[in-house]
Amino acid sequence: MLNYIARRVGIMLLMIILVSTMIFFLFRAMPGDPTAFVVDPSMAPEARQVLIERYGLDGSLWDQYKVFIKDLVKFDLGNSFFYGRPVMKIITDRIPATLILMLTGMIIAYGIGVFGGALMAWKRGHKLESAGITIALIFRSAPTFWVALMSIILFSVNLKWFPAQGMRTSGYTGETFKEIFMNLDFLKHLILPSVVAGLYFIATPLLIMRNSMLEVLSEDYIEMARAKGLRENRILYKHAARNALLPVVTAGALFLGSAIGGMVLLETVFSWPGLGREIVQAVTRHDYPLAQGAFIIMSSLMMIMNLVADILYAVLDPRISYR
Amino acid sequence: MNLLEVKNLDIDYVTKEGNLKVVRDVSFTLKQGESVGLVGESGCGKTTLAKTIMRLLPDNGVISGGEINYKGENIVTKNKEEIRKLRLNEIAMISQSAMNSLNPVYTVGEQIIEGIRSHTNMSKKEAIKRAEEVFAIIGLEKKRLKSYPHQMSGGMKQRAIIAMALSLNPSLIIADEPTTALDVVVQDKILSQITEIQKQTKSSMIFITHDISIISELCETIIVMYGGKIMEKSSSKVFFKAPYHPYSLGLQNAFPSILDIDKGDLISIPGAPPNLMGELKGCRFKERCPFRTDKCMEELPELKEIGEDHQIACHYPERVDEFREESKKKETWQMVSDRIINESKGDA
């Protein structure tokens, strides 16, 4: 098992280099001259030249790439053109907000989805089943930003239950992680966007769980569990749901990719100061280092989550062992 | 008192196209320590009958008539919780597909202990001890309790299932084709173990199989089913010497004796089991019976006593000598085959 993880981490590092290379050239292929955005064209040519050199935009593409990779190995993603601060610092500042929002959404979606899906299969043909599927599909097909806007109108503007935007009430300043994230004010700001995120995510676990439950329920070991005289709840959760969970875990890991994508829209609508919003801005500003860095970090996160899912899978299913 | 008493049992499967009359008017009794064998083709209702005794019918299965009295109490009218307490503790099942009857994500031990603990107040330790005991009885090492199903061979899994069924000393064991998935050598070993255990524990057994030779070794009584009805019921000693019903005679043909292996091809019963949907008229076996008459087409034969502990459902028990003679001939069954082809042409 440890051997396996070590090998996977090795492959991951290689993949990150590969992905970084692709990202690097992708941005260079984008139309528009970064120097025009970054460096004010009205400046004196000498001053411009100094700035361009400082940003490393004067060398050939190949030279720029070499510098980029050399820094990357040292976990240095360079300085943001726009902020003039290290990209690493900007990303690590932003990432907790995104992760907290995303994970809360995922927990809501998976918590309700897994149990709901199991229940729907157990009570096949019940009204609850068709209602559940319909609701889940509505929230999956409706544009996220629209659902977000509607929820703001209803819960923030009309009912005034939750704040409409941001991560904290303006004027509040926190320095440490604890001060920023572990308080009631933050929680109030979190509820609306995370519920909207959860509603968007919920279709996947709910429907996969239901389908896989239906399959499991016709297995012989379920009949055997009944023949053993176990209580219904125990059969449902310990025998059926436990086995039905396996495909949900895989789907969950793959789903993380699109989940991060979905965050961009939500963060924009709710003015949530997360990584997603930062990426959009960085791309429009031609802030190469920041955009590159954010994409690299996001793809690394994806890979880590996939590894976690694989490990989790081995824990859940004794038939799978990694060597 | 009888341990089990099945009285005029009717079972239906409710489908969109109508009711499927899977079991009709089945009665038999079983004393403590006795075993009965149920034989018949696939779809004749034997597994349905067995599952009904444990009330394990699928949602569309309905007991539409009759009683199942277990130790004097009617199982049909019991509620879910009462049934739950009966399962494994009183009536245990050795299922048809041992290969898939164990949950792949738990160890075999966990699954046995779970069953024990859901019916008793045993501590985990005591339950483990009990599991080790039954494993010893069935000839599995106790370290196997820690194995996952995928780490065991088919024979071991089947043994584990048997061990599970024995774990609470049930009075009645229902064995639904427990050895069909196994090779002949393992099958024989397991069967002899089952008989051994049954003698020791004095539990009764209902043994379901399509292999009538197994019944001769295991059971005092044999019940031959066809199309949801009992065709012949007899002590197995009598049955194997002299079966009565034309269907039983046909079945006997289909099983080769090792002594006359060079006699040539086996004679099988042509045709397929009847469709149990809609209105059923006459004898269930009429389509495939070489000796049918107009009476058979119209009138359902009742189960009649024809000897000590021997009943058959046929209008013509007195013609048995003629039937036995004729049924040994290939031409007799060839005639049935031709008749079926002709009839199906007539339909079209």
What are B129's two structure tokens? 């001890």
Q: Is the pLDDT of residue B348 over 60?
A: no
In DSSP terms, B180 is beta-bridged to none
DSSP code of A111? H
What are B53's two structure tokens? 């005794």
What are B110's two structure tokens? 């966990």
Q: At what angle do helices A203-217 and A242-269 cross, to 10 degrees?
A: 170
Length of chain B: 348
Q: Which residue of B has its CA nearest to A240?
A: B103
pLDDT of residue A172: 64
Flag residues of chain A having pLDDT under 50. none
Put residue B18 in one of left, alpha, beta given phi > 0 → left and psi -120 to 50 → alpha.
left
CA distance A124 to chain B (A): 11
Cα separations in angstroms, B115 against A226, A231, B87, B120, B121: 10, 10, 10, 9, 11
For A227, the closest of B87, B107, B114 (CB atoms) is: B87
Q: Is the pLDDT of residue B102 over 80?
A: yes
For A242, residues 6+ apart whose C-beta sits below 8 A from its C-beta are A316, B103, B105
C-alpha B231, offset from chain centre: 14
Higher pLDDT, A157 or B337: B337
Average pLDDT, chain B: 88
pLDDT of residue A3: 84
Is A219 in Cβ contact with B92 (below 8 Å)? no
CB atoms within 10 A of CB A15: 14
Is A234 in Cβ contact with B103 (below 8 Å)? no
What is d(CA A231, CA B93) in angstroms, rounded to the nearest whole number? 17
pTM: 0.77
pLDDT of residue A149: 85
What are B4's two structure tokens? 């089990």
Q: Could you say which residues from 31 to 60 on chain B have a Cβ atom under 8 Å away from some Cβ of chain A? A: 54, 56
pLDDT of residue A310: 82
Q: Is the pLDDT of residue B70 over 60?
A: yes
For residue A313, the surrounding DSSP H or E stretch is helix A288-316
Higher pLDDT, B277 or A1: B277
Weakest mean pLDDT among B17-31, B66-80, B131-145, B241-255: B241-255
Is B105 in Cβ contact with A317 (below 8 Å)? yes
Q: Which residue of A has its CA nearest to B112?
A: A228
pLDDT digits (tens, 9 = 90+) for B112-154: 999 999 999 999 999 999 999 989 888 889 899 999 999 998 8
What is d(CA B326, CA B320) in angstroms, rounded to the nearest whole number? 10
pLDDT of residue B144: 92
pLDDT of residue B263: 60
CA distance B347 to chain A (A): 38
CB atoms within 10 A of CB B256: 12
Q: Is the pLDDT of residue B172 over 90?
A: yes
What is d(CA B98, CA A227) in angstroms, rounded to the nearest whole number? 13
Domains, chain B, ordered by start: 4-225 (3.40.50.300), 241-347 (no CATH)
For A227, the closest of B56, B119, B150 (CB atoms) is: B56
DSSP code of A79? B
Residue A315: list chain B partners with CB under 8 A. none
SS (H, E, C) chain B: CCCEEEEEEEEEEEECCEEEEEEEEEEEEECCCCEEEEECCCCCCHHHHHHHHCCCCCCCEEEEEEEEEECCEECCCCCHHHHHHHECCCEEEECCCHHHCCCCCCCHHHHHHHHHHCCCCCCHHHHHHHHHHHHHHHCCCHHHHHCCHHHCCHHHHHHHHHHHHHCCCCCEEEEECCCCCCCHHHHHHHHHHHHHHHHHHCCEEEEEECCHHHHHHHCCEEEEEECCEEEEEEEHHHHHHCCCCHHHHHHHHHCCCHHHHHHCCCCCCCCCCCCCECCCCCCCCCCCCCCCCHHHHHCCCCCEEEECCEEECCCCHHHHHHHHHHHCCHHHHHHHHHHHHHHHHHHC
Domains, chain A, ordered by start: 2-73 (no CATH), 87-316 (1.10.3720.10)
pLDDT of residue A212: 92
pLDDT of residue A88: 85
Residue B102: list chain A partners with CB under 8 A. 221, 224
For B108, residues 6+ apart whose C-beta sits below 8 A from its C-beta are B102, B144, B145, B147, B148, B149, B152, B157, B160
Q: In what order do the strands lie in the sheet with B221-226?
A: B91-94, B172-176, B204-209, B35-39, B221-226, B229-235, B310-312, B304-307
Q: Any CB–CB contact under 8 A between B162 and chain A?
A: no
CA-wise closest residue to B201 among B29, B1, B32: B32
Residue B89: list chain A partners with CB under 8 A. 229
pLDDT of residue A41: 63
Is B164 in Cβ contact with A230 (below 8 Å)? no
User: A72 by DSSP, 3-state: which?
Assistant: helix
Residue A247: list chain B partners with CB under 8 A. none
What is d(CA A161, CA A154) in angstroms, rounded to the nearest whole number? 9
Instruction: Give the burial class of A211: count Cβ atoms within 10 A of its Cβ; 0-12 exposed, 13-18 middle, 19 or more buried.
Output: middle
CA distance B121 to chain A (A): 14
Q: Which residue of A has its CA nearest to B174?
A: A227
Q: Please give the span between the terminal C-alpha atoms of chain B, in angstroms, as a whole number.
A: 54
Higher pLDDT, B211 or B160: B160
Is A239 in Cβ contact with B88 (below 8 Å)? no
What is d(CA A298, CA A301) in angstroms, rounded to the nearest whole number? 5
